[in-house]
């Protein structure tokens, strides 16, 4: 088994993850290591913040083609490409009489969707860590589903956990 496979199984990691901080449920050794500027990982350090990744909640409205499984899969692939992410797997499901749900599993996290084509609505999540640029996905969705009616909310995943541990 390769080191990468062992890493995915959580074997051979020397992060201190087994030393749980029972007061907060967050492994103290991991959180303390996140603030180390020399650490090479996929945590993001921006504007004095350290966080696991950027999670965009994207509401596509008045969209067309939201019932088309291949079109959604193509949009996933385009988002991965323009955001600079790494695609591992795509799985979608077409509902009857309409609607599609799907996920693109990324090395940097995931993209997911559930659509209500009868009202032109698609609920997309784009969560990426590392050097990927998830905000570039917004223009891909506008183009793919022929709409400018898109709302986006950004969450910095893990930011509050790291901030609380640094202050403690």
In tens, the pLDDT along 83-135 reads 999 999 999 999 999 999 999 999 999 999 999 999 999 999 999 998 999 99
Q: Stretch 53-67: mean pLDDT, rounded?
A: 97
Give the C-alpha distances (Å, rounded to integers) separating 167 from 20, 35, 39, 102, 160: 18, 12, 19, 39, 11
Q: What pLDDT band is residue 168 in, cutting at 50, 70 and 90?
A: low
The domain spanning residue 156 has which CATH number? 3.60.90.10
* Rounded distance between C-alpha atoms, residue 115 and residue 65, angstroms: 10
Q: Above 80 in pLDDT, residue 4?
A: no
4's CB contacts (< 8 A; 6+ apart) are none
In-domain check, residue 60 = yes
Which residues belong to the active site?
109, 114, 129
In-domain check, residue 78 = yes
In-domain check, residue 83 = yes
Say what the pLDDT of residue 50 is.
Answer: 85
Q: Above 70 in pLDDT, residue 15?
A: no
In-domain check, residue 10 = no
In-domain check, residue 93 = yes
Q: State which residues form the domain around 65.
A: 28-167
In-domain check, residue 15 = no
* Rounded distance between C-alpha atoms, residue 59 and residue 30, angstroms: 34
Q: Above 70 in pLDDT, residue 38?
A: no
- Count how many domains the chain has: 1
In-domain check, residue 80 = yes
Say what the pLDDT of residue 125 is.
Answer: 98
In-domain check, residue 64 = yes
Q: Stretch 21-36: mean pLDDT, rounded?
A: 51
Tell me the whole-structure pTM to 2 decimals. 0.74
């Amino acid at each position: 088994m390769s080191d990468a496979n062992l890493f995915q199984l959580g074997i051979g990691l020397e992060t201190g993850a087994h030393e749980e901080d029972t007061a907060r449920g967050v492994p103290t050794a991991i959180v303390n290591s996140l603030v180390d500027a020399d650490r090479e990982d996929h945590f993001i350090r921006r504007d004095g913040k350290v966080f696991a990744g950027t999670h965009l909640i994207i509401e596509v409205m008045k969209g067309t083609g939201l019932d088309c499984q291949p079109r959604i899969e193509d949009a996933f692939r385009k988002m991965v490409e323009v955001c600079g992410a790494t695609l591992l797997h795509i799985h979608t499901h077409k509902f009857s009489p309409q609607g599609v749900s799907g996920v693109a599993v990324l090395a940097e996290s995931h993209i997911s969707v559930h659509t209500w084509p009868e009202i032109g609505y698609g609920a997309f999540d784009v969560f990426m860590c590392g050097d990927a640029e998830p905000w570039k996905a917004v223009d891909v969705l506008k183009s793919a589903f022929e709409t400018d009616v898109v709302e986006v909310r950004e969450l910095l995943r893990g930011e509050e956990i790291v901030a609380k541990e640094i202050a403690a």
